[in-house]
Structure 1
Amino acid sequence: MATRQKAASPPRHDTKVITALRRFAISITIFNLLGYTVLGFEQPWLWPFIALATGYTVEIGLEWIAARSENRVPRYAGNGLRGLVEFLYPAHITSLALNMLIYVNDQVFVMMFGVLVAVGAKWILRAPVRGRLRHFMNPSNFGIAVILLLFPWGSIAPPYHFSEHVDGWIDWLIPAVIILGGTMINGKLTGRMWLIAGWVGGFALQAVVRGILEGTSIPGALATMTGIAFILFTNYMITDPGTTPSRPGAQIAFGGGVAVAYGVLTAMHIAYGIFFATAIVCLVRGCFLWALHYTDQAREQFEAQQRRAAAQEEQREIVEPGAGDSAEGARAAVPSTSAEAVVPQHENEVVRR
């Protein structure tokens, strides 16, 4: 009995995105190594490995299920070890970022739950983009937001732990390196500098507006932008190429939208607004993509109906000529009663007589 041949797996990312993911993965790995040995990360040493194991397992497991249901080769199965490593770049980045940015005391299963949500949401919360379903929720940000909502006793990692054990000129070196590395990756590979400009400009604007309307300290709000946590978020989280738009105008709107949402949430005295704001804007973008998809489908169906109606009308005119047809066409459609048609009958009558 013949068996169905499995289809080849579609390409996961193009070359530039793979290069960007590779550099993101290397950067966050080095930062975690320095964080636990030099900087002062406060999560247990074993947790990054637990986070990675959880993220890898979920990513490979869900890809295997998807490949089986679609009768195709799993994406991690192509190109040997290199293909597996490139397939796991997103899960690697998401797992380390979530463990680095969340603090849930000694509840390791809560951290693992966050990784499960972050990686698993990429296979559930999807929207059509250029004919393909793409995830629209920023993975690590979404996992953190879900933890903060479901476990109110949890919190984000204290910002001081990024430089707790260093001082002096190293305090200036860390953000400088992050900015330099992030600018190179986002400027040359992901192309998300417009998004960063919209986010940073919008953040500064909302700080000034809140100061004017609410009387809060404008310098204090602006000083948030100098922290390592803010710089990390700006260069390595909000610029996720898989969940942000590509066009400059859309990037500015996305970054500015996150800043506006953050300003509103902060004015409402909602803590951790930066993560909730990003999740809200990502969700709005996903709904917009689905609405755009259904609108395009409705337009295509309407145009197809119009074409079918025009074709039926044209066919009807060919079979049943209208009143405006020529006399010759009308005579051609009516049985002939001319003299030539009468003569044979007259001759037959004469013969019978």
Structure 2
Amino acid sequence: MQLKRIDPRYYVLLFLTSFVAAGQLFLGFFQQWDSMFTAVTAAVAAELVLTRMLRGRWIVPLSALITGLGVSLLLSSHLLWPYALASVLSIGIKHTVRIGGKHLFNPNNVAMCFMLWFLPQYAVSTPKQWTNGYEIMAFILLLGAVAAYTAGRLDTVLAFISGFALFAAVRSFLFGDPLFFAFGPMLGASFQLFCFFMITDPQTTPPTRRARVLFALGIAAVDAALRVMEVTNSPFYSAFLIALFVGLPYRLYNRRQTSKLAME
């Protein structure tokens, strides 16, 4: 008898929930519980309403829980409404910007780019505040690795980490960045969150291993270029740019090829 495969989203949910719990109980996150509840409530409500309006049915909002937790971890604000707005934007983008029945962009990534670019006075990316409690972080990273593996995207994570390290060394050698400055972001949990959550969405990453590796290396390369230009929040912008200028043409090309094969 074949065992039923566990939905990989449950591992992602466990990963993010562990992040939230560790941050509140052990690591001293700036965000409070109310920001997490606001983000999750807004995401779940938007998911239920839009799914009912667009598909005519109710669903278990598992993906919305993941989205809301992601927003609460990625975003930092002294107000609550930015968390709600980012969550609603994420869910709205997921339901409206689609190709071939799948959303084109990582919804959390686009929402974060919007908030950081247009509303920087109200919202910033999570500060680099999670560099203590290494035993706890090791456990969380293990969960992240399991989540990425079950989603079939561990290769994406490893490619991005390798690319980031390579380009960090290049930046240090060519532009004189101190080694700790160049490699320092890798020690923070915000980097790990980006690796294991932001760039591993099965819906918005390529289906083949080779394409996923190139996708991740592309994000690392654009991130390095933006860091040289001293652009803040470079990981979010690099992921968006790669999705727009590489992911979109790739998806359109694959769709045309599939259509041609279907017509033959």
Q: How big is each residue's C-alpha offset from its partner over 1:68-102, in whole Å with a ceiling of 9 and x where there is no partner?
A: 4xxxxx251xxxxxxx2xxx111111111112221
Contact 1:262 1:277 in 2 (8 A): yes
Q: Which residue of 1 aligns with 2:126?
A: 157
Residue matched to 1:351? none
Looking at structure 2, the residues matched to 247 and 159 of structure 1 have their Cα atoms a distance apart, in angstroms, of 33
Calculate the TM-score normalised by the size of structure 1: 0.68
Structure 2 counterpart of 1:332: none
Q: 1:296 offset after TM fit, Å?
A: 5.2
Q: Which has the higher contact order (CA 8 A, sep 6+)?
A: 2
Residues 233 and 174 from structure 1, CA distance in 2 versus in 1: closer, same or farther, beyond 3 angstroms?
Answer: farther
1:139 maps to 2:107: yes
CA contact under 8 A between 1:95 and 1:115: conserved in structure 2?
Answer: yes
Inter-partner Cα distance in structure 2 for 1:38 and 1:213: 39
Matched letter for residue 183 of structure 1: A
Q: TM-score, normalised by structure 2?
A: 0.89
Unaligned runs of 5+ in 2: none
2:99 alignment partner in structure 1: 127
Distance 1:213 1:243, change over 3 A: same
The one-letter code matched in structure 2 to 1:51 is A
Bigger shift: 23-32 or 140-149? 23-32
Q: 1:65 aligns with which of 37, 53, 69?
A: 53
Say whether the 8 Å CA contact 1:178–1:231 is kept in structure 2. Answer: no
Give the unaligned 5+ runs of structure 1. Answer: 1-14, 69-73, 77-83, 305-353
Distance 2:49 2:69 in 1: 19
Q: 1:179 aligns to what?
A: 141
SS in 2 for 1:159: coil
**Equivalent position amino acid for 2:104 in 1:** F
| Residue 195 of structure 1 pairs with residue 170 of structure 2 | no
Q: Which residue of 1 aligns with 2:72?
A: 99
Question: How many matched pairs?
Answer: 259
CA distance in structure 1 between the aligned counterparts of 2:102 and 2:151, rounded to whole angstroms = 16
1:274-331: CA deviation from partner (whole Å, max 9, x where unpaired): 111111122230342124424654x469x77xxxxxxxxxxxxxxxxxxxxxxxxxxx
**How far 1:249 sits from its partner (Å)?**
0.3
The answer to whether the 8 A contact 2:15-2:147 is kept is: no
**What is aligned with 2:221?**
260
Contact 1:98–1:141 (Cα < 8 Å) also in 2: no
Q: How far off its partner does 1:146 sit?
A: 0.9
Residue 293 of structure 1 pairs with residue 255 of structure 2: yes
CA RMSD of aligned residues (A): 2.1
Measured in 2, the distance between the counterparts of 1:256 and 1:25 equals 26
